[in-house]
């Protein structure tokens, strides 16, 4: 039985429900959103959360970049989430679980290698764990949050909210779960061309791609998948 972290939707969005990618700013303050996640969130059974639109499952959604390029992932049929099989994605992420709330002082490997420190807040802890489950990141990383992804147009989106992050890597990145993921590095222009074609890009990634140039950092250093 899996437990996932949820926040009542009216606590996350007390004034309006955004549709699509909403960057942090006057209409949606980052500190207010983060406080709502920390103060009003709790864990429930995933099966219950999946059928309760009044609760939003919080999903850290990390775009991994290095040397001006973005990591594009393809989720293979051997992966665990059937509805994502064959999908292309620029986001690494997943549910926040109870382990992310626990003391991680005796589990340093969970957060990768290099100069990275164990994160203090729940969103960061969940994000680092998901990154380390799917990728080998060797070197240092910098994580910046830019906004939220909300899509109430379908039953799956109605019970989830993504927290958009950019993970800038100084070092190297490799796919850890080779039986579940394929990856390649692409420039923003290449990704835009891909999105314009008939390709199976997941909905959240399409929403982020529309604002990609607003959130990408300066190039750092080369890396490989």
Residue 133 lies in a domain: yes
* Structure confidence at residue 161 (pLDDT): 98
How far the first Cα of the chain sits from its last, in Å, is 33
> Cα dihedral sign for 175, 97, 80, 110?
positive
37: number of Cβ within 10 Å = 21
Residue 197 lies in a domain: yes
Residue 52 lies in a domain: no
Q: What is the pLDDT of residues 87-132, one digit of tens each?
A: 899 999 899 999 998 654 444 444 444 444 445 689 999 999 999 9
* Structure confidence at residue 116 (pLDDT): 43
Percentage above 70 pLDDT, the chain: 83
- 100 neighbors 125 (Cβ within 8 angstroms): yes
DSSP code at position 201:
B
Residue 167 lies in a domain: yes
Residue 185, domain CATH: 3.90.79.10
* Structure confidence at residue 114 (pLDDT): 41
pTM for the structure as a whole: 0.86
221 three-class SS:
coil
In which domain, by residue range, is 115 found?
Answer: 58-215
Token pair, residue 16, equals 């309006």
- 132 neighbors 108 (Cβ within 8 angstroms): no
Mean pLDDT for 124-150 is 93
* Structure confidence at residue 221 (pLDDT): 44
* Structure confidence at residue 63 (pLDDT): 97
Residue 207 lies in a domain: yes
pLDDT band at 151 (very low <50, low <70, confident <90, very high): very high
Domain count, the chain: 1
Q: What is the pLDDT of residues 161-219, one digit of tens each?
A: 999 999 999 999 999 888 888 999 999 999 988 888 867 899 999 999 989 888 887 55
Residue 45 lies in a domain: no
Spatial CA neighbour of 98 closest among 118, 124, 122, 132:
122
d(CA 6, CA 3) in angstroms, rounded, equals 9
- 2 neighbors 46 (Cβ within 8 angstroms): yes
Residue 27 lies in a domain: no
């Amino acid at each position: 039985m899996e437990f996932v972290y949820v926040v009542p939707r009216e606590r996350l969005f007390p004034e309006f429900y955004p549709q699509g990618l909403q960057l942090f700013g006057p209409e949606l303050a980052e500190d207010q959103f983060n406080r709502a996640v920390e103060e009003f969130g709790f864990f429930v059974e995933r099966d219950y959360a999946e059928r309760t639109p009044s609760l939003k499952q919080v999903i850290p959604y990390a775009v991994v970049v290095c040397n001006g390029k973005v990591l594009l992932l393809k989720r293979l049929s051997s992966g665990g989430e059937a509805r994502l099989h064959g999908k292309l994605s620029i986001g690494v992420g997943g549910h926040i679980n109870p382990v992310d709330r626990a003391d991680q002082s005796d589990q340093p490997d969970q957060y990768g290698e290099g100069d990275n420190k164990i994160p203090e807040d729940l969103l960061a802890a969940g994000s680092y764990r998901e990154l380390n489950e799917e990728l080998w990141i060797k070197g240092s990383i910098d994580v910046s949050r830019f906004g939220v992804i909300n899509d109430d147009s379908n039953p799956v989106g109605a019970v989830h909210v993504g927290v958009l992050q950019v993970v800038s890597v100084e070092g190297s990145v490799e796919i850890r779960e080779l039986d579940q993921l394929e990856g390649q590095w692409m420039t923003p222009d290449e990704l835009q061309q891909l999105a314009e074609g008939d390709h199976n890009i997941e909905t959240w990634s399409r929403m982020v791609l529309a604002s990609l140039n607003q959130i990408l950092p300066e190039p750092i250093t080369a890396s490989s998948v």
